[in-house]
């Protein structure tokens, strides 16, 4: 039995802690903020509850497995609900497309109805390619520690697998090989943003996200996805894990080759056999470990070469429909409003580094009675992609964010969504807020982006070259988003089991 310290009580940190405690280790978590869950959180403001982090759960099997293997099944604790339809897409020319949930054939029918059968066929073939990519990529690139390129090259079927994955083709280019539809192209492009990336640079294999979402479904958790954080906190406590809140870790102590423990901001030194870092890898290698540490040099160099994920600007809108004299516009759960020029969004975020002038707008409008206190009310979480907070050489988000919030509300009104006339509560969250609340550098949503063919190899490895240090969570392999973060926890727990 090892004494293990987990730095950070995000989903990845708690998921790893649960698995490790269940395996018999003595685990404690040191969390810098005053709560658990990290980015995954449901916030109440007045009569309205908002998922201010994840608002869409995909691949729930990852968390079913976690809860099952660490105690009671998830179904005894949380009510997981498929969201139907999964998505409503609206385009600048007035066209819209509805994607039903968990029914590939119905998606086909919807595309045929709203566009034509040729485009529906193209979607079908895209999803077939995505499925083949998932079959090939899942094992070596997602579910296991990432091997080096020379080792991957030794794998059986390497050449045929490479043909399917097309590592040097961008997501945008791959889509173009299947369809010229500007509608499908935008829908596929958007999946690059699920890893904080630009579809023109992100590798084609991100098409697998579209397949995963349509095959395994889009899910909600009753009461808000933040309930996952609460359930995980309960689970780790039940397993005997000690959680220390308001306990920022300022140093990972080591003897130059292996971990010795941590030091907290209060100067407390705690010894450990193993440290699992759920803090962003950038902080781990550039702040918590000394820049003199030779064994960490290769990881530090990798992180320097990676590009950071995009950030997000969100509005939390409490809407009181009793203020309207006519029926309120009806939205489904997940709604996307694309702008005319989607490329300009990525130019502004990654190159010009300024707030997007005409952004794609995502509105999460859950039809969940547990997220409002009266039936006349609606709680909308509105998210647009944004450049990171970078006061030097980028955008400084302390610079009049109210103006941007007002601009977005005007845009929502212009879309006919009647926001101003029924607005009861309005708050916003900038990338700087995310940086301050959960130590996400620059407010990046997903750690590093996948903006190049080698991006997977530039993420922090789960097993650090500093012996007995492991990295878990969105900035480590295999990347950000709830499913991957849950997988990273499993990889780390397995790696420690085998250490």
Ligand X SMILES: Cc1cc2nc3c(=O)[nH]c(=O)nc-3n(C[C@H](O)[C@H](O)[C@H](O)COP(=O)(O)OP(=O)(O)OC[C@H]3O[C@@H](n4cnc5c(N)ncnc54)[C@H](O)[C@@H]3O)c2cc1C
Which of 25, 27, 32, 386 touches ligand X (CB under 6 A)? 32
Which of 19, 39, 235, 477 lies at the binding interface for ligand X (CB under 6 A)? 39
Rounded to the nearest whole angstrom, what is the least distance from the CB of residue 75 to ligand X in the complex? Answer: 20
Query: Does residue 8 belong to the site contacting ligand X (CB under 6 A)?
Result: yes
Q: How far apart are CA 205 and CA 203, in angstroms?
A: 5
Residue located via tokens 């990798």: 302
Evaluate the omega torsion of the peptide bond into residue 53 and state whether it is cis, within 30 degrees of 0. no
What is the phi-psi region of residue 157: left when phi exceeds 0, alpha when psi lies from -120 to 50, beta otherwise?
left
Work out whether 40 is an interface residue with ligand X (CB under 6 A): yes
Give the closest residue to 152 by CA, choosing from 142, 141, 138.
141
Backbone angles phi, psi at 121, to 5 degrees: -60, -40
Asked if residue 56 binds ligand X (CB under 6 A), the reply is yes
Buried b (16+ CB within 10 A) or exposed e, 338-353: bbeebeebbebbbeee
Residue given tokens 């040097």 in the structure block = 168
* 129 or 359: CB nearest ligand X: 359
Number of residues that bind ligand X (CB under 6 A): 38
Within 446-475, the residues that bind ligand X by CB under 6 A are 446, 473-474
Identity of the residue, 119 or 306, whose beta carbon is nearer to ligand X in the bound complex: 306
* Listed ranges 68-76, 158-166, 277-285, 302-310: which one lies at the site for ligand X (CB under 6 A): 277-285
Shortest Å distance, C-beta 463 to ligand X: 17
- Of 5, 6, 13, 189, the one binding ligand X (CB under 6 A) is 13
Q: Which is nearer to ligand X, 23 or 445 (CB)?
A: 445
- Asked if 53 interacts with ligand X (CB under 6 A), we say yes
Sign of torsion over alpha carbons 496, 300, 431, 187: negative
What are all long-range contacts of 92-100, with beta carbons under 8 Å and residues at least 24 apart? Answer: 92/338, 92/339, 92/340, 93/340, 95/183, 97/183, 97/187, 98/332, 99/214
Give the nearest distance from C-beta 114 to ligand X in angstroms. 25
Output 279 or 372, the one with its CB closest to ligand X: 279
Our CB check for ligand X shows the closer of 445 and 487 to be 445
Other C-beta atoms within 10 Å of 427: how many? 16
Rounded to whole angstroms, the Cα distance separating 327 from 98 reads 22
**Residue 460 Cβ vs ligand X, minimum distance, rounded to whole Å:** 11
Handedness of CA 481, 484, 488, 493 (dihedral sign): positive
- Decide: 281 and 296 in contact? Cβ < 8 Å: no
Per CB under 6 A, 224 contacts ligand X:
no
Torsion 156-157-158-159 (CA) sign: positive
Minimum Å gap between C-beta 398 and ligand X is: 18
Q: Dihedrals φ, ψ of 11, to 5°? A: -60, -40
- The least CB distance from residue 376 to ligand X, in Å, is 26
Piece in contact with ligand X (CB under 6 A), picked from 48-56, 185-193, 253-261, 418-426: 48-56
9 binds ligand X (CB under 6 A): yes
Question: Which lies closer to ligand X via its Cβ, residue 36 or residue 468?
Answer: 36
What's the closest the beta carbon of residue 482 comes to ligand X, in angstroms? 3
* Residue 319 is a binding residue for ligand X (CB under 6 A): no
Using CB under 6 A as the criterion, which residues of the chain lie in contact with ligand X when the complex forms? 7-13, 30-33, 38-40, 53-56, 248-249, 278-279, 283, 312, 314, 383, 434, 438-440, 445-446, 473-474, 480-482, 485
């Amino acid at each position: 039995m090892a004494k293990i310290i987990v730095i950070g009580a995000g989903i990845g940190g708690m998921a790893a802690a649960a698995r490790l405690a269940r395996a018999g280790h003595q685990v404690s978590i040191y969390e810098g903020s005053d709560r658990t869950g990290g980015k995954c959180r449901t916030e109440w403001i007045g009569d309205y509850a908002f998922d201010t982090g994840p608002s869409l759960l995909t691949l729930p099997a990852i968390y079913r497995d976690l809860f099952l293997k660490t105690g009671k099944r998830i179904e005894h604790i949380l009510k997981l609900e498929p969201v139907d339809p999964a998505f409503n897409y609206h385009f600048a020319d007035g066209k819209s497309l509805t994607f039903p949930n968990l029914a590939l054939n119905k998606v086909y029918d919807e595309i045929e109805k709203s566009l034509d059968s040729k485009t529906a066929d193209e979607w079908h073939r895209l999803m077939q390619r995505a499925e083949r990519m998932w079959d090939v990529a899942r094992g070596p690139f997602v579910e296991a520690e990432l091997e080096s390129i020379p080792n991957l090259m030794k794998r059986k079927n390497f050449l045929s697998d490479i043909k399917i994955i097309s590592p040097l083709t961008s997501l945008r280019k791959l889509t173009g090989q299947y369809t010229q539809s500007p509608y499908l192209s935008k829908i596929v492009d958007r999946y690059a943003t699920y890893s904080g990336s630009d579809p023109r640079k992100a590798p084609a294999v991100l098409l697998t996200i579209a397949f995963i979402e349509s095959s395994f479904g889009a899910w909600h958790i009753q009461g808000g996805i933040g309930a996952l954080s609460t359930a995980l906190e309960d689970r780790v406590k039940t397993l005997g894990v000690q959680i220390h809140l308001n306990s920022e870790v300022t140093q990972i102590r080591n003897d130059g080759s292996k971990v010795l423990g941590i030091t907290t901001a209060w100067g407390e030194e705690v010894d450990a056999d193993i440290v699992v870092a759920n803090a962003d890898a950038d902080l781990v290698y550039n702040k918590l470990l000394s820049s003199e540490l030779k064994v960490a040099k290769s990881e530090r160099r990798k992180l320097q070469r990676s590009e950071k994920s995009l950030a997000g600007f969100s509005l939390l809108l409490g809407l009181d429909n009793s203020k309207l004299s006519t029926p309120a516009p009806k939205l489904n759960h997940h709604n996307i409003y694309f702008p005319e020029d989607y490329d300009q969004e990525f130019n502004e975020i990654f190159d010009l580094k300024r707030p997007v002038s005409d952004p794609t707008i995502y509105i999460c409008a859950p039809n969940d009675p547990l997220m409002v206190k009266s039936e006349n009310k609606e709680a909308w979480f509105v998210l647009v992609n944004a450049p990171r907070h970078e006061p030097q050489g980028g955008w400084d988000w302390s610079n009049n964010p109210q103006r941007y919030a007002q601009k977005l509300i005007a845009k929502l009104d212009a879309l006919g969504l009647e926001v101003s006339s029924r607005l009861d509560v309005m708050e916003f969250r900038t990338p700087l807020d995310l940086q301050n609340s959960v130590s996400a550098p620059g407010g990046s949503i997903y750690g590093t982006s996948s903006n190049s063919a080698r991006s997977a190899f530039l993420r922090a490895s789960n097993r650090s070259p500093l012996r007995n240090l492991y990295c878990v969570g969105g900035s480590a392999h295999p990347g950000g988003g709830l499913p991957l973060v849950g997988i990273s926890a499993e990889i780390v727990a397995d790696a420690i089991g085998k250490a």
